[in-house]
Chains A and B, each alone.
Chain A
Amino acid sequence: MDVLKFNNVSKDYCNKGESLEVLKNIEFNLIEGQIIAITGPSGSGKTTILNLISGLLKPSKGTIETSGEIGYMFQRDHLFEWRNVFDNVIIGLEIKKMLNDDNLKKVNRMLDIYGLKDFKNSYPSELSGGMRQRVALIRTLAVNPSILLLDEPFAALDYQTKLKVCDDMYKIIKKEKKATIIVTHDITEAISIADKVIVLSPRPAKIKKIYDINLTIDGERTPFKSRNSKEFKSYFNAIWKELNNDEQL
């Protein structure tokens, strides 16, 4: 079942009286439990797609069909320094006035199983970068969204932490069975985490190609294992070529 559908969506910005085309005829769909990665050259409007889905922006042309709540996670964790971990996690529930026993139990469960059990009363300044990112993810999941939007969620982390957090987040997303769109400029990250990779062209962004990622992996898939599969390199090369075609023009 589709949880998200883009029907021929275009987006123009007005910049000092001039209209600037950012997205052109974008069409794709996201089904339950699937992870789609969107990659493309910088300034190609990757984040614009997320802002359209979340309703922070309206499309100029076309329609977007979504079902259920949307959870948006940003590059930086945006934890409030004056709130402890628990109070940070429940801020979405507070705003949506959804503070009830069920939801609080759920939040507590997530904090417990995702390694933050002993840090509920800690302040963000006492946490590591990876932990902060996990808190931000749980904050997003607390309102029980059916679609998860991740905007360069690992870009602020160092390489080693990035690989670890990427595995952690993948596990959480799969366990909570969330349909996810992840925007990233890192091709390896896109292939390692996603079921489908959408490659955008430079502005005005059109969909150049959609890759279905099929990897041979022993046992359960994790982003780290994905990186070691034998098909990984050929996907990388194909997408790399696709992205660099434009620069020669």
Chain B
Amino acid sequence: MMNNCNIQLKVYKKQKVKLLLSQILLLIIFLFIWELLARLNVIDDFLFSSPSKIFSLLLEYIKTNEIFKHIWISVYETVLGIIIGSFFGILIAIILWSNEKISKLFEPFLVILNALPKTALAPIMIIWAGTGTSGIVVVSISILIVITIISAYNYFISVDKEKIKMLKSFNANKFQIFTKLVLPSNLINIISIIKINIGMSWVGVIVGEFLVSRAGIGYLIMYGGQVFKLDLVMMGVIVLAICAYIMWKGIDILENYFSKKRGMK
């Protein structure tokens, strides 16, 4: 039996490695074709750039340490947006959960706010909150807070009513029901909300940096577009993708850790 189990584990690991290798291969093929088409002048590398040009530009930026300045600013703004937006979003969801009257009162407004494209309001928000980091963070918060409230609230109210009744049979109050049941049972859900918020926050930060900034990845992309340095635009997008992926992976590891701890996976 033990042997059989070990073999299965090996097969499973092998499959995982195979999958990863295939994914890397796919990326390499894509980059190779892109490079090839650019070299053969099938595509205009002034408009579409090419992997080698992007790479050499990136090296240049790394050598002068300039790229790290831009990454730092954008990551800082994004993380700030995620933390503040998620915290207040969940806090508001808790208030709505604890009081049915308030939740009914605000429901239509939340639905409308959610449907509204928040980026349309970005220029005004930057004027209100200031043109520096604060304005950009506010744009990012505005994009993610409403959906955070709505999804956290929905997770909170879908907790098993019978379990609440069980706690009430011990005379539990609202606060105890929240801390002992609603919050721990939704820990994984809250992590997945934060996971979604990473993408949302990046949208806010990039839009904000497009509008006003002197540094950041969004600034690099915008600047590159304005001076027709499309290598720079492409490089900005790739750096952005790498940053977003690393942040996402970090939360993903956290999620797996908690899932495993509870024996759910």
Q: How far is the CA of A125 from the CA of B264 in the complex (A)?
A: 9
Q: How far is the CA of A81 from the CA of B168 in the complex (A)?
A: 19
One of B167, B170, B184 near A82 (C-beta < 8 A): B184
Interface size on B, residues (CB 8 A): 20
Assess whether A123 is in contact with B263, with CB atoms less than 8 Å apart.
Answer: yes
Assess whether A81 is in contact with B264, with CB atoms less than 8 Å apart.
Answer: yes
Q: How far is the CA of A76 from the CA of B166 in the complex (A)?
A: 10
Q: CB-CB < 8 A to A143: which residues of B?
A: 170
One of A56, A78, A83 near B163 (C-beta < 8 A): A78
| Interface-facing stretch out of A22-30, A88-96, A200-208 | A88-96
A212 at the interface (CB under 8 A from B): no
Q: What per-residue 1/0 map shows which CB atoms of A232-243 lie under 8 Å from chain B?
A: 000000000000
Assess whether B171 is in contact with A78, with CB atoms less than 8 Å apart.
Answer: no
Q: What per-residue 1/0 map shows which CB atoms of B46-59 lie under 8 Å from chain A?
A: 00000000000000
Q: How far is the CA of A125 from the CA of B166 in the complex (A)?
A: 19
Assess whether A54 is in contact with B263, with CB atoms less than 8 Å apart.
Answer: no
Across the interface, name the chain A residue whose C-beta is closest to B262: A82
Assess whether B165 is in contact with A125, with CB atoms less than 8 Å apart.
Answer: no
Assess whether B185 is in contact with A80, with CB atoms less than 8 Å apart.
Answer: yes
A126 at the interface (CB under 8 A from B): yes
Across the interface, name the chain A residue whose C-beta is closest to B177: A95
Given contacts A78-B162, A81-B264, A126-B263, contact A91 B185 (CB under 8 A): no
Q: How far is the CA of A82 from the CA of B181 in the complex (A)?
A: 10
Q: With both chains docked as a complex, state the minimum distance between the C-beta of B112 and any C-beta of chain A, in angstroms.
A: 29
A72 at the interface (CB under 8 A from B): yes
B187 at the interface (CB under 8 A from A): yes
Given contacts A81-B264, A95-B171, contact A56 B165 (CB under 8 A): yes
Assess whether A95 is in contact with B162, with CB atoms less than 8 Å apart.
Answer: no
Q: With both chains docked as a complex, state the minimum distance between the C-beta of B139 and any C-beta of chain A, in angstroms.
A: 36
A111 at the interface (CB under 8 A from B): no
Q: How far is the CA of A74 from the CA of B169 in the complex (A)?
A: 10
Q: How far is the CA of A119 from the CA of B15 in the complex (A)?
A: 36
A193 at the interface (CB under 8 A from B): no
Q: How far is the CA of A150 from the CA of B169 in the complex (A)?
A: 12
Q: CB-CB < 8 A to B168: which residues of A?
A: 56
Q: How far is the CA of A94 from the CA of B175 in the complex (A)?
A: 13
A70 at the interface (CB under 8 A from B): yes
Assess whether B169 is in contact with A70, with CB atoms less than 8 Å apart.
Answer: yes
Q: How far is the CA of A96 from the CA of B168 in the complex (A)?
A: 11
One of B169, B180, B264 near A94 (C-beta < 8 A): B180
Q: With both chains docked as a complex, state the minimum distance between the C-beta of A102 and any C-beta of chain B, in angstroms.
A: 18
Assess whether A82 is in contact with B187, with CB atoms less than 8 Å apart.
Answer: yes
5-58 of chain A: CB within 8 A of chain B: 54, 56
Q: How far is the CA of A49 from the CA of B35 in the complex (A)?
A: 77
Across the interface, name the chain A residue whose C-beta is closest to B169: A72
Q: What per-residue 1/0 map shows which CB atoms of A123-134 lie under 8 Å from chain B?
A: 101100000000
B160 at the interface (CB under 8 A from A): yes
Q: How far is the CA of A78 from the CA of B172 in the complex (A)?
A: 15
Assess whether B170 is in contact with A80, with CB atoms less than 8 Å apart.
Answer: no
Given contacts A80-B184, A91-B180, A123-B262, contact A56 B162 (CB under 8 A): no
Q: How far is the CA of A76 from the CA of B162 in the complex (A)?
A: 9
Q: How far is the CA of A76 from the CA of B161 in the complex (A)?
A: 12
Residues of B at under 8 Å CB distance from A? 160, 162-163, 165-172, 176, 180-181, 184-185, 187, 262-264
10 CB < 8 A contacts A-B? A56-B168, A80-B163, A82-B184, A82-B262, A91-B167, A92-B170, A95-B170, A125-B263, A125-B264, A126-B263
Smallest CB-CB A-B distances: 5 pairs: A72-B169, A92-B170, A95-B172, A78-B166, A95-B170
List 10 other contacts, CB 8 Å, given A81-B185, A125-B264.
Answer: A56-B165, A56-B168, A74-B165, A78-B166, A80-B163, A80-B184, A81-B262, A82-B262, A91-B167, A96-B170
